[in-house]
Amino acid sequence: MLILLRALGLFVLTAVAEVVGCYLTYLWLREGRSPLLLVPAAVSLAAFAWLLTLHPTGAARTYAAYGGVYIAVALAWLWAVEGERPSTWDIVGALVALTGMAIIVLAPRR
């Protein structure tokens, strides 16, 4: 159980690093904010890539499972940072993605 909680925490940290890096880049490109935002964006995206390497399973399986957590974190960001409450369908979609992630992560291995 501890390994599962560690993996979930690592997935959440990885997703936050990716969302922050992409959001800062978005602010620069789409909102006309300072290009200096690219510095923390690059650091955040580098942290994202590094965090992916800390997962114990193979890269492809890690990326597939990570996708479900990323969706949930992105919707939480939408609500917390952008002030837009996720719709019922957003939440249902995130739950479907998290279910898929759980199947990938919890499937018995040989």
At position 102, the amino acid (one-letter code) is A
Domain with 74 in it: 2-106
Count of CB atoms within 10 A of residue 66's CB? 24
Per-residue pLDDT reduced to its tens digit, 18-39: 999 999 999 999 999 999 999 9
C-alpha gyration radius of the chain: 15
pLDDT band per the 50, 70, 90 thresholds, residue 7: confident
Predicted TM-score (pTM) of the model is: 0.86
Q: Are 67 and 51 in contact (CB under 8 A)?
A: no
- The number of domains in the chain is 1
Per-residue pLDDT reduced to its tens digit, 61-104: 778 888 899 999 999 999 999 999 999 999 999 999 999 988 88
Give, in order, the Cα–Cα distances in Å from 32 to each of 29, 38, 74.
6, 12, 22
